[in-house]
Structure 1
Amino acid sequence: MKVVLIDYGVGNIKSIQFAFERLGVSIVLSKDPEIIQQADKVILPGVGEASSAMRKLKETGLDALIPTLKQPVLGICLGMQLMCNHSDEGNTTGLKIFNTEVKRFSSDVKVPQMGWNTINNLKTDLFFKLKAPEYMYLVHSYYAQNCAQAIALTEYDILYASALQKDNFYGVQFHPEKSSRAGEQLLKNFMKL
């Protein structure tokens, strides 16, 4: 099975690679559209600021390619946020895969949310063998608003979508590669989709 991690200069690439290696899966790093299209599974990572990350996707033409992919695609953290319609961070137009908006947490809570929090209302086979409330590791200042495509919810100041799904596209706000047993199970589940 060929798993491609999209390498567009914005990501937690090493920790994701190590997490898959622990599962016995080797990952190909690439920004080549042909290699990405031929993959069995695709991962869109992301750490950093939304507008500069989207600019890097546009520079390589990947902003046009990603929404057309037919295989399972997993967006992680900022990768998931870029798959939404719009982010308030840098007033960024997203890939418009998930029909929701990305907003900043209010000043009433510590930002970024950093550490362990629970995910609830788990839906789809992405969460096979996981039971709510399940703890996952998060680091973020912006969140995807709850919507019809939410497959997991988390509460931090408000209830937001900590995972999204539309067709073959999945997104998680948390870092499965840093989320111990539960995160490892989620990555195993993604490999079986």
Structure 2
Amino acid sequence: MDTFIRPYVLKENASLQVLTGKGSPWLGESLLTIPGLYNRINGNQYSVKQSLSFSGGNLLVNGVDMGAAAPFEAAEATIWPINNVITRISRSAWDFLKDDGRFSLFTGILQYNDSVYNDLFYKANGYAAQTGGYRAQWYYRDSPMQLGMTIFEENGQNYTYPLNTWFVPTDEAFRKAGFQTLDDLIAYNERRGMPDTIFSPADNQG
């Protein structure tokens, strides 16, 4: 029961004044943490966040209409009556993008670029960046991980980067820009030139 209640309690006061004073949804950190998952930036256990907005007299939580809402302003908190339960989302942003057919060009070019870069690094240096020393690992390319779109393991611990918003072009947007297929995007990258992947051997220490 404690786990059920925690997503409904936020650490900050989301009063009507706060929500109506925002031009965009307000993001609040709930009391619910995910066991075994940590924030890569500060090392703290990852907390589930809720996106709140107030429009037309209705409260929206994570984009879901919770119905007409008139909050109670208590001495220590604001209480919002809601008409729906809050659904906990467990899938990563990368899962959503991969499963949604509208973003195949975006996910495809990210994966292609990462694989090409990592292959070039290996050919230039004789080993994979992620198997090298601490500084060498900076050169490892995994866009879903580094853009905060997925959970990854590091030294036996699960992490995610606490990023919350991405503007992702749909396949239709790419086509309007003149890129009909993944091959078109690859050809554009090749015209721009490949990255330099050789670095100082000292970077492989530690």
> TM-score range, shorter-chain basis?
under 0.3
Question: If each structure's helix is expressed as a fraction of its own residues, which one has the higher value?
Answer: 2
Flag the structure with larger Rg: 2
TM-score, length-scaled by structure 2: 0.23
Question: If each structure's strand is expressed as a fraction of its own residues, which one has the higher value?
Answer: 1
